[in-house]
Amino acid sequence: MQKRNKTPTSDAEKIIKLVQSQTKFIQPSQAVVIQEDSINFLKSLPDESVDIIITDPAYSGMNQKMKFGNGRIVGKYQKEGNGKWFTEFHDTKENYSAFLGECKRVLKKDSPIYIMFDSFSLLSLGSLVREYFDVKNIIVWDKVNLGMGHNFRRRHELIIYASKGKPKIASRSLPDIWQIKRITRAEYPTQKPVEIFEKMISASVGKGAIVCDPFIGSGSSAIASLKSGCYFIGSDVSPKACGITRNRIKKFIDIGLDPLQQNIINAHQKSIENF
């Protein structure tokens, strides 16, 4: 199917310039990152200004649940404040509703949103998504290798695919289970494979689209956007996350390499074959 290219370059550039004006950092015209709270960042964007939202929020519920069982987070992220863990988004229903409301406002008509969830957050907050969007699917990300966990060990995460209006999809034969290996020895806690975000983008928008991620972390969604020929705007409250992402974007644009995921070319090829 012919992919969409809904946003004329001039519109995209206007949005990029607007976001760029919020930061003192000089950044490439394809991808701009702002150090800001997600809701404040979204509030700074005009109505109906982005083509797709792809995001992986920091659920505090997840962190609390990870302390269940033996009462501790397992592994190198165990001590909060040790610089390896990150700030939590306060995922109360009120805050999450405000977040979803802003996502809806900034999305163009007939556009999709992909939101990642762990199982616990899906139970507590997933139903709120239906108050703002038309929920189309819950996609399972099969991480292939076992992760941490008590009782049954975790091997998956979930992605709500929802829409404002009636977005197009690239093919009617895409599966709702995506098998992509987790990142091991990640430089950033909860760093996700670029291929997950590439799947979201390639299923929904074409080159020149504006992709938005209000919780960028290490910037995997930004790299996926650049690889797909899209513009990217995003935020994170953490200065560390913004620094990592800006460097990652710069290296990717300057030398075509992703410093945080060097397997990317083979992995990308493999993910296309599996799609």
Ligand X SMILES: C[S@@+](CC[C@H](N)C(=O)[O-])C[C@H]1O[C@@H](n2cnc3c(N)ncnc32)[C@H](O)[C@@H]1O
Separation of alpha carbons 267 and 274, rounded Å? 10
Separation of alpha carbons 201 and 174, rounded Å? 13
Q: C-beta of 219: minimal distance to ligand X in Å?
A: 6
**Exactly one of 188, 231, 232, 252 binds ligand X (CB under 6 A); which one?**
188
SS3 label, residue 210: strand
Sheet containing 31-35: which strands, arranged edge to edge?
31-35, 231-236, 210-213, 52-55, 111-117, 156-164, 134-142, 177-179
CB 217 within 8 A of CB 241: yes
Residue type, 52: I
Residue 139 backbone dihedrals phi, psi, to 5 degrees: -95, 140
Handedness of CA 257, 86, 239, 36 (dihedral sign): positive
Residues 47-106 that bind ligand X (CB under 6 A): 56, 58, 86-89
Separation of alpha carbons 204 and 155, rounded Å? 26
Structure tokens at 263: 């397997």
Measured from the CB atom, the residue of 96 and 215 that comes closer to ligand X is 215
SS3 label, residue 158: strand
Q: C-beta of 255: minimal distance to ligand X in Å?
A: 21
**Exactly one of 204, 235, 261, 271 binds ligand X (CB under 6 A); which one?**
235
Residue 37 contacts ligand X per CB under 6 A = yes
Q: What share of the chain is helix, strand, coil (3-state, %, to 5)?
A: 35, 20, 45
**Exactly one of 49, 121, 202, 238 binds ligand X (CB under 6 A); which one?**
238
Residue 38 contacts ligand X per CB under 6 A = yes
Stretch that binds ligand X, among 5-13, 25-33, 190-198, 249-257 (CB under 6 A): 190-198
Measured from the CB atom, the residue of 8 and 25 that comes closer to ligand X is 25
Q: C-beta of 80: minimal distance to ligand X in Å?
A: 12
Residue 261 contacts ligand X per CB under 6 A = no
Residue 236 contacts ligand X per CB under 6 A = yes
Q: C-beta of 41: minimal distance to ligand X in Å?
A: 7
Measured from the CB atom, the residue of 7 and 212 that comes closer to ligand X is 212
Measured from the CB atom, the residue of 192 and 246 that comes closer to ligand X is 192
* Residue ranges in contact with ligand X by CB under 6 A: 37-38, 56, 58, 86-89, 188, 190-192, 214-215, 217-218, 220, 235-238, 241
